[in-house]
Amino acid sequence: MLPGENRIRDSFSSKFGIIAAAAGSAIGLGNIWRFPYVAGQNGGGAFLIIYLVFVAAIGIPVMMSEFTIGRMAQLNPVGAFKKIAPGKRWHLVGLLGVVSAFIILAFYTVVAGWTLEYLVQSVKWLFTSKTIGFSSMSTEALKAFFTDHYDHFLSGIWRPALWFVLMMFFTGYIVISGVKDGIEKYAKVLMPVLFIILIILVIRSVTLDGSKEGLIFLFKPDFSVVREKPVSVILEALGQAFFSLSIGMGTLITYGSYIRKKENLANTAVSVVAADTFTAVIAGLAIFPAVFSFGISPDQGPELVYITLPVIFQKMAGGFIWAFLFFLLLCFAAVTSTISVLEVIVAYFSEQLDMSRRNATILAMITVGFLGLLCTVSKDLFNLFNASPDLLLPLGGFFIVIFIGWFLSKNKSRKELSSNGAYSVGYYRIFIFLVRFVAPLAIAVLFLLGLYSKISNIFS
Ligand code: TRP
């Protein structure tokens, strides 16, 4: 008997709960903070097309593979590979995922913590009219305010550190309550609220004067940027697809292990991918029309959400309302993602090291907390962690598709995907083709290109 196999396992209680939790993992800062600025710097509509191709040809098959592994084994990523491929080294892929989870959670929770600071600033603005909070800051002051959070040394580290700890605490609080009574319960409420807020913001943004330019930027493919730097645009698109879909790290192996046998894995994966992609696009729709309407250039980079948007909110009628809604949205999106990453570590600790869920969560919070605090004091470490998913996730994704495509017998994957024959798997041949050839080849080529460009950056 493998460690963890004899434990009673929690599971998601409904189809909607699964989709809310998995979409909650996928939809996060990656969609609302990262996607708009990455698209903004890489050609807008042209980037979107390349991104969509990767999502369909690589994202969906990797996600289905992760769900398959998780649900087949009903264990955390390390235990899952040990169970399905006993005596082989595949569990190292799971271990890579757990290590990636520490790294991603540490820096991601730091960024998530910034949203709390901005939320508090918006609330101050709401209650005190135009005197406190970022309502009264000049653009320069807003820049400095953001840089303080990014460059923590300038004004002391305690505020970002405090927000980080608080965010870690919220995350742990939800995870400690369990899969059904914690993760699923919160995702089912937070995700619908998130969509409502986002739709309200989109309506506000596209009805501003001069917003049309923003729509053109987001939807009209202009390939000039792609022609200028094709490799980097393509790499950004792949990295963004992995990060945004939460794939390549075992998060969805872990969530897959809580999916009941009667659910249809393929249409769950497609729904989650569709929700994630839709959210990235409408986050762009909430942001770019407003950016163009106020005459700001779209390629601001990571500052887009944290400096540019507050500047815009100041100029909008009732700006505090929009600011408050926006940062609340960002905060909800972040929490439903941090819990999914923490869950990977908790499932690993509790099953592989045979700990109670409570102790596993506390141990995970302390260890990640330590790493995250290091990120709030060292910008170099923060930047290193922030850049690492670009390589770690495709690496994990590569082995996951190789495992499903070449190691696991077709009978087994077909059986799992069809829920033992309950669902038709008419897509199976396409799936296997993507998982055997298209995804591994594309990931391998792009991974090597990415590695090469990172190394040549270091030496140049
Ligand atoms: N997908 C989330 C986002 O877009 C972040 C995230 C959650 C993630 N879990 C992950 C990224 C696992 C990579 C792997 O913000």
- For residue 341 and ligand 1, the question of a CB distance below 6 A is answered with yes
Question: Across the chain, what does the average pLDDT equal?
Answer: 91
Per the model's pLDDT, the better-predicted residue between 350 and 459 turns out to be 350
Structure tokens at 355: 């700990």
Q: Are 338 and 167 in contact (CB under 8 A)?
A: yes
Could you give the CA distance from residue 170 to residue 160 in angstroms, rounded to a whole number?
15
Angle between helices 379-387 and 357-377 (to 10 degrees): 120
- For residue 100 and ligand 1, the question of a CB distance below 6 A is answered with no
The residue among 456, 395, 397, 442 whose CA lies nearest residue 50 is 442
**422 C-alpha vs ligand 1 centroid, how far in Å?**
31
The residue among 449, 429, 23 whose CA lies nearest residue 238 is 449
Q: What is the pLDDT of residue 305?
A: 83
Burial class of 283 by CB neighbour count within 10 A (0 to 12, 13 to 18, 19+):
buried
Q: Which helix (H) or strand (E) holds 320?
A: helix 319-352
Q: What is the pLDDT of residue 173?
A: 98
Residue 120: CB atoms within 10 Å: 14
Could you give the CA distance from residue 147 to residue 265 in angstroms, rounded to a whole number?
43
Q: Could you report the per-residue pLDDT of 12-48, keeping only the tens digit for each?
A: 999 999 999 999 999 999 999 899 989 988 989 999 9
Q: What is the pLDDT of residue 143?
A: 75
Q: What is the pLDDT of residue 280?
A: 96
Q: Could you report the per-residue pLDDT of 53-82, keeping only the tens digit for each?
A: 999 999 999 999 999 999 999 999 999 999
In this structure, the residue with its CA closest to atom 7 of ligand 1 is 337
The number of the ligand 1 atom at minimal distance from the alpha carbon of 244 is: 4
| pLDDT tier for residue 110 given thresholds of 50, 70 and 90 | very high
- For residue 226 and ligand 1, the question of a CB distance below 6 A is answered with no
Q: Could you report the per-residue pLDDT of 246-304, keeping only the tens digit for each?
A: 999 999 999 999 999 999 999 999 999 999 999 999 999 999 998 898 888 888 777 78
The beta-strand segments (E) located in 101-175 are none
Q: What is the pLDDT of residue 154?
A: 41
Share of the chain above pLDDT 70, in %: 95
Q: What is the pLDDT of residue 153?
A: 39
- For residue 25 and ligand 1, the question of a CB distance below 6 A is answered with yes
Q: Is the dihedral of CA 310, 286, 332, 388 positive or negative?
A: negative
**337 C-alpha vs ligand 1 centroid, how far in Å?**
6
In this structure, the residue with its CA closest to atom 8 of ligand 1 is 246
**332 C-alpha vs ligand 1 centroid, how far in Å?**
14
What is 130-176 written as a DSSP string?
TSSGGGG--HHHHHHHHHHHHSTTTT-SHHHHHHHHHHHHHHHHHHH
- For residue 30 and ligand 1, the question of a CB distance below 6 A is answered with yes
In this structure, the residue with its CA closest to atom 6 of ligand 1 is 246
The number of the ligand 1 atom at minimal distance from the alpha carbon of 251 is: 12
Distance (Å) of CA 280 to CA 35, 199, 320: 6, 12, 23
Instruction: Show the domains of the chain with their CATH numbers.
Output: 15-388 (1.20.1740.10)
Q: What is the pLDDT of residue 314?
A: 80
Could you give the CA distance from residue 428 to residue 314 in angstroms, rounded to a whole number?
52
Collapse the DSSP code of 386 into the 3-class scheme (helix H, G, I; strand E, B; otherwise coil) and give the result: helix
